[in-house]
């Protein structure tokens, strides 16, 4: 839920009796105060679209605990709203208007006021109101704040003239950026961060009489006007009124070019004058002021010309507009020069403050104002999971990011922002984008070419919305499926992960970076360096997490062979950025114990940059430096000195930049380290072509969610399906069969796409465009009857398909033991039991990791691991109905019980339900001949090894695997499972003869 501000229903508001104000004396003609909420219980605790009060926060720990409590000292009535909080990210509460009721008209009043029980903590408390739009989620947000610097009850009065337009969490471009007050949807309070506290509030009401300066506002069409040397900027000044009525009284706007870094008369022709909008002027009327930049022969950085506006009779613009004469003639601006020379020239000109800004990344929703981009020389912004524009469309994303890039043009060197998102399986924050299977499904395809195609589709859709940087792919090697991030991994075998790194070329193009300027490529990020997939169960100290962000305990050899090797591949493929892990690394025998990865200079500087030769830049994870032991200054210097180049400080961008500057001035971070970091960042900005084209190139926007892109996702969904059991050849289905479909995940696109879809955690239901598995089966021409809970009669059907599994989660929220396990829900178990007890049945598990179905395996005829297939349920239907063959293989070992975890290929003791690499096929003839055929295939594989004929070698191993699987299908034992799994690892490492030898071993043991 957006941190928004909504109100009570119109019927309730008008039904309440006016209350006497305890504030300043009212004027004789002031309207009576109108109550909004007296907190006596007339407004319930509820969520939109219903009328009510609700808390919110950045994670599960941050929403405040709210209650309506009786207080003898209540300023009004008997009860007040109370709450306690301990917020690390952001948190607060909202009073929402029921969206089914009309909005409120507050335009007759001067402002809003309420009683606050002061704690004297000197913290600022943000208060916001919502104006206009069709409903609360499509309205403009206007904000102000007050300081809790008092003790006991105090009435806080806020004139509406004190509210300023928020530049984030808005309908893109706003509705009219005028506080109209005729359609109000409520209010919200944002509580202080970093202090454990409590609050009490009472009697929110409207007070006073509105004046002309509130009803009329003067606006400009932009805050920044870049202009080339010798060009002319046109600044449009408009007057607008509440309800779009003509103005009652004249409005004058005196203007003058004054201040700034440009020199009047030398760099521009000064302007001064006055514009008058006479009484009766229609709302929306505009006038234009022209500012002419002069031409000289000198090379210069950008120069600013503030246009001071003095408004009489209306509210002035929130910001002073600035004309910016573009930088020109400097070497770093010359695209013909080599990138390294451009970087060196620019770095040599920058101040420490500008360099520190380049090393700072803020969450776009945390900006105090868009002007902070220039004020603090910010180098980067990001959208965290679910941080989206309103409306969440491709055009809105592009417009939002262009507005941020425009602000960067007001800096001295006009260094463009690099904007980043977690597009981890398609442009997953954008509604209507093409959502791919999560990485675990891509790993199941064993198809490097397809992995590259999925990356290319993702890059094209991301770049078409103006975003040049993707925090993907995750190169974690998942070693314990109790981990809530398991599905972000391609698999448990580093060889499999390395084979799927073709996705980097899909995202970035050529390894030398020459394609990064293209409108369908983005900078990729290898994450999370290093060992995030190997954390020990129970080692996490983050909230209620059990394994995510915990400690990875490994020998030096295990670190090298399992967790580090995928990063060398990424570096060789030209990866542009790397993100360290939240987790700690404990290398047994090195004497350091567990050390947070963000603090490990030996790994980031020593291994990644020096040994591996990584020449991109290192970006921290979300507020991750806060987890380094020590005070904030220590966190900053430790992380930067460890080799981090840019720090993701979503809400602390001002503090970080100031602290970094202080650390450099004190000599605790060297200027050389800063210059290296900034050079790495600028190199990628130049490679991306951002200096020449900072704004969104939306020529590819029509391809977002296009049939061609969805065809790639459909293929990936089909190839990711792993057929674990197929007794009696129940699959593929025939269109002539009557099919009974049941289960919680058959018709739920939210469950099918999983976490990191539209929002960080994802959610069930119709959250985006696509085709569910049920819809895909119907579109395939199947004779299908659906009963989600299997309550419909089961007689008369040829086969049942039960689609079960998990609901969405992300990161440690999904850890087993944190409210999760690997068991099916009671409802899913009941559906499986009923359907499989009545007919032949196929069970599909839609999940981010293996599900424990061993106790029901005997009653299930066919079992399919569907993973999280994305938006294209047609792909699942393609293999169910035989349009495509089942070809997927297990990217992780499928355990018999949770007590077996962790269990992985190569373990000395290995007794799984299904081994790593397992995957039956359909529509493919399995080789006959048994042991004799295996012997012949061994000769072929040996020859392939000698001659380097990899295609021949892979084909030989694949034939041998199918033959062995046919024999072992009903009798997997430790003696057969271990060599079978080992064979798949050997295949991925190009040792074909050894792989066939292992398969022969499994065959003979079966």
Whether residue 190 has pLDDT greater than 60: yes
Joined together, the tokens standing for residue 40 give 């006596």
CA distances from 873 to 83, 449, 776, 919 (A): 44, 21, 5, 20
Residues 969-1002 have pLDDT tens digits of 878 999 999 999 999 999 999 999 999 999 999 9
CA proximity to 570, closest of 536, 618, 606? 618
Lowest mean per-residue pLDDT among 180-189, 343-352, 691-700: 180-189
- Residue 255 near residue 274, CB atoms below 8 Å: yes
Q: What is the 3-state secondary structure of 339-405?
A: HHHHHHHHHHHCCHHHHHHHCEEEEHHHCCCCCHHHHCCCCEEEECCCCCCECCCHHHHHHHHHHHH
CA proximity to 115, closest of 208, 7, 204? 204
The structure tokens 């020859």 sit at 943
Lowest mean per-residue pLDDT among 213-217, 521-525, 830-834: 213-217
Joined together, the tokens standing for residue 59 give 């994670």
Portion of the chain with pLDDT greater than 70, in percent: 96
- Residue 102 near residue 135, CB atoms below 8 Å: no
- Residue 46 near residue 53, CB atoms below 8 Å: yes
Which pLDDT does position 509 carry in this prediction?
A: 98
The structure tokens 């080789």 sit at 927
Quick count: other Cβ atoms within 10 Å of Cβ 233? 24
Residues 679-697 have pLDDT tens digits of 999 999 999 999 999 999 9
Residues 892-928 have pLDDT tens digits of 999 999 999 999 999 999 999 999 999 999 988 999 9
Whether residue 392 has pLDDT greater than 80: yes
- Residue 390 near residue 384, CB atoms below 8 Å: no
C-alpha span between 471 and 563 (Å, rounded): 19
Residue 27's pLDDT band, with cuts at 50, 70 and 90, is low
Lowest mean per-residue pLDDT among 14-18, 519-523, 989-993: 14-18
Joined together, the tokens standing for residue 55 give 């808390």
Whether residue 407 has pLDDT greater than 50: yes
Residue 467's pLDDT band, with cuts at 50, 70 and 90, is very high
Residues 250-277 have pLDDT tens digits of 999 999 999 999 999 999 999 999 999 9
Residues 537-562 have pLDDT tens digits of 999 999 999 999 999 999 999 999 99
The structure tokens 């209620």 sit at 544
Roughly what angle, to the nearest 10 degrees, separates helices 930-947 and 992-1005? 160
Which pLDDT does position 212 carry in this prediction?
A: 65
Residues 590-636 have pLDDT tens digits of 999 999 999 999 999 999 999 999 999 999 999 999 999 999 999 99
Which pLDDT does position 24 carry in this prediction?
A: 43
Instruction: State yes or no: cis peptide before 732, omega within 30 of 0.
Output: yes
Whether residue 25 has pLDDT greater than 70: no
| 976 contact partners, CB below 8 Å, separation of at least 6 | 915, 968, 1002, 1005, 1006
| 348 contact partners, CB below 8 Å, separation of at least 6 | none
Whether residue 10 has pLDDT greater than 50: no
Lowest mean per-residue pLDDT among 133-137, 756-760, 927-931: 133-137
Mean pLDDT of all residues in 479-499: 98
Portion of the chain with pLDDT greater than 90, in percent: 87
CA distances from 403 to 370, 520, 868 (A): 9, 21, 35
C-alpha span between 215 and 212 (Å, rounded): 5
Return the active site residues.
621, 811
Q: Could you say which DSSP state residue 559 is in?
A: I
- Residue 541 near residue 811, CB atoms below 8 Å: no
Residue 180's pLDDT band, with cuts at 50, 70 and 90, is confident
C-alpha span between 180 and 203 (Å, rounded): 24
Mean pLDDT of all residues in 424-433: 97
Which pLDDT does position 72 carry in this prediction?
A: 96
Residue 26's pLDDT band, with cuts at 50, 70 and 90, is low
């Amino acid at each position: 839920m957006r941190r928004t501000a909504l109100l009570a229903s119109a019927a309730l508001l008008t039904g309440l009796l006016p209350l006497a104000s305890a504030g300043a004396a009212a004027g004789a003609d002031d309207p009576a105060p109108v109550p909004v909420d007296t907190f006596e219980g007339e407004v319930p605790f509820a969520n939109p679209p219903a009328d009510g009060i609700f808390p919110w926060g950045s994670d599960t720990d941050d929403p405040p605990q709210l209650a309506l409590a009786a207080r003898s000292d209540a300023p009004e009535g008997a009860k007040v709203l109370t709450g306690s909080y301990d917020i690390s990210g952001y948190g607060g509460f909202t009073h929402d208007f029921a969206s089914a009721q009309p909005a409120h008209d507050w335009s007759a009043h001067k402002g809003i006021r309420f009683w606050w029980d002061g704690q004297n903590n000197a913290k600022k408390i943000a208060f916001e109101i919502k104006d206009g739009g069709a409903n609360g989620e499509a309205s403009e947000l206007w904000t102000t704040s007050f300081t809790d610097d008092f003790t006991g009850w105090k009435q806080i009065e806020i004139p509406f003239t004190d509210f300023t337009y928020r530049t984030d969490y808005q309908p893109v471009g706003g509705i009219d950026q005028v506080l109209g007050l005729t359609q109000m949807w409520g209010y919200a309070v944002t509580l202080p961060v970093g202090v454990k506290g409590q609050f009490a509030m009472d009697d929110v009401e409207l007070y006073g009489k509105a004046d002309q300066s509130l009803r009329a506002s003067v606006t400009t069409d932009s805050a920044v006007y870049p202009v080339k040397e010798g060009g002319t900027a046109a600044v449009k000044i408009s007057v607008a009124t509440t309800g779009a009525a003509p103005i009652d009284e004249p409005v004058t706007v005196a203007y003058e070019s004054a201040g700034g870094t440009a020199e009047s008369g030398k760099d521009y022709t000064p302007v001064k004058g006055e514009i008058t909008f006479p009484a009766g002027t229609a709302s929306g009327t505009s006038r234009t002021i022209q500012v002419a930049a002069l031409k000289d022969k000198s090379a210069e950085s950008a120069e600013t010309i503030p246009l001071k506006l003095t408004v009489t009779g209306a509210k002035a613009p929130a910001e002073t507009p600035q004309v910016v004469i573009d930088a020109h003639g400097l070497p770093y601006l010359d695209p013909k020069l080599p990138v390294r020379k451009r970087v060196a020239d620019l770095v040599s000109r920058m101040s420490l403050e500008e360099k520190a800004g380049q090393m700072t990344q803020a969450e776009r929703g945390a900006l105090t104002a868009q002007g902070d981009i220039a004020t603090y020389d910010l180098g980067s912004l990001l959208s965290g999971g679910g941080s989206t524009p309103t409306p969440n469309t491709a055009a809105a994303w592009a417009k939002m990011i262009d507005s941020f890039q425009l602000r960067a043009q007001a800096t001295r060197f006009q260094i463009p922002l690099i904007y980043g998102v977690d597009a981890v399986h398609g442009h997953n924050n954008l509604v209507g984008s093409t959502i791919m299977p999560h990485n675990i499904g891509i790993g199941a395809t064993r198809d490097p070419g397809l992995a590259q195609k999925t990356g290319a589709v993702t890059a094209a859709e991301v770049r078409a919305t103006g975003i040049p940087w993707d925090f993907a792919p995750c190169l974690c090697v998942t070693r314990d499926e109790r981990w809530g991030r398991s599905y972000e991994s391609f698999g448990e075998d580093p060889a499999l992960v390395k084979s799927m790194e073709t996705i980097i070329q899909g995202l970035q193009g050529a390894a030398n970076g020459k394609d990064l300027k293209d409108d369908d490529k983005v900078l990729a990020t290898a994450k999370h360096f290093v060992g995030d997939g190997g954390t020990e169960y129970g080692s996490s100290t983050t909230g209620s997490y059990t394994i995510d962000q915990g400690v990875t305990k490994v020998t030096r050899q295990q670190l090298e062979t399992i967790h580090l090797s995928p990063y060398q591949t990424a570096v060789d493929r030209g990866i542009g950025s790397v993100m360290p892990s939240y987790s700690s690394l404990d290398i047994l025998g090195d004497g350091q114990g567990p050390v947070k990865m963000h603090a490990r200079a030996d790994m980031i500087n020593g291994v990644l940059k020096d040994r591996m030769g990584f020449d991109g830049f290192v970006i921290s994870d979300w507020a991750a430096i806060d987890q380094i032991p020590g005070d904030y200054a220590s966190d900053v210097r430790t992380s930067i000195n460890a080799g981090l180049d840019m720090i993701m400080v979503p809400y602390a961008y001002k503090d970080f930049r100031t602290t970094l500057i202080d650390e450099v001035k004190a000599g605790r971070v060297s200027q050389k380290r800063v210059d290296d970091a900034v050079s790495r960042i600028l190199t990628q900005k130049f490679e991306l072509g951002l200096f020449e084209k900072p704004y969104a190139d939306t020529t590819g926007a029509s391809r977002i969610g296009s049939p061609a892109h969805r065809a790639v996702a459909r293929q990936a969904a089909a190839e990711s399906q792993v057929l674990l059991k197929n007794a009696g050849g129940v699959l593929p289905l025939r269109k002539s069969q009557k099919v009974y479909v049941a289960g919680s995940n058959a018709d739920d696109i939210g469950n099918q796409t999983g976490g990191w879809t539209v929002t960080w955690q994802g959610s069930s239901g119709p959250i985006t465009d696509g085709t569910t598995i049920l819809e895909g089966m119907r579109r395939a021409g199947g004779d299908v009857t659906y009963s989600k809970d299997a309550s419909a009669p089961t007689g008369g059907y040829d086969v049942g398909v039960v689609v079960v599994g998990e609901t969405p989660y992300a990161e440690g929220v999904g850890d087993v033991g944190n409210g999760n396990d690997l068991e099916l829900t009671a409802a899913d178990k009941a559906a499986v039991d009923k359907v499989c007890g009545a007919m032949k049945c196929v069970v599909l598990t839609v999940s981010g990791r293996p599900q424990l179905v061993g106790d029901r395996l005997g009653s299930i005829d066919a079992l399919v691991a569907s993973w999280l297939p994305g938006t294209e349920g047609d792909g699942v239907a393609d293999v169910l109905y035989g349009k495509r063959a089942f070809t997927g293989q297990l990217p992780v070992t499928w355990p018999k019980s949770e007590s077996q975890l962790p269990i992985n290929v190569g373990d000395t003791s290995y007794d799984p339900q299904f081994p790593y690499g397992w995957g039956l096929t359909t529509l493919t003839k399995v080789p006959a001949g048994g042991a004799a055929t295996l012997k012949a295939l061994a000769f072929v594989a040996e020859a392939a090894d000698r001659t380097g004929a990899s295609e021949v070698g892979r084909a030989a191993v694949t034939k041998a695997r199918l033959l062995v699987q046919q024999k072992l299908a009903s009798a997997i034992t430790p003696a057969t499972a271990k060599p079978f799994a080992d064979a798949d690892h050997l295949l991925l490492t190009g040792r074909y003869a050894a792989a066939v030898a292992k398969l022969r071993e499994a065959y003979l043991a079966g």
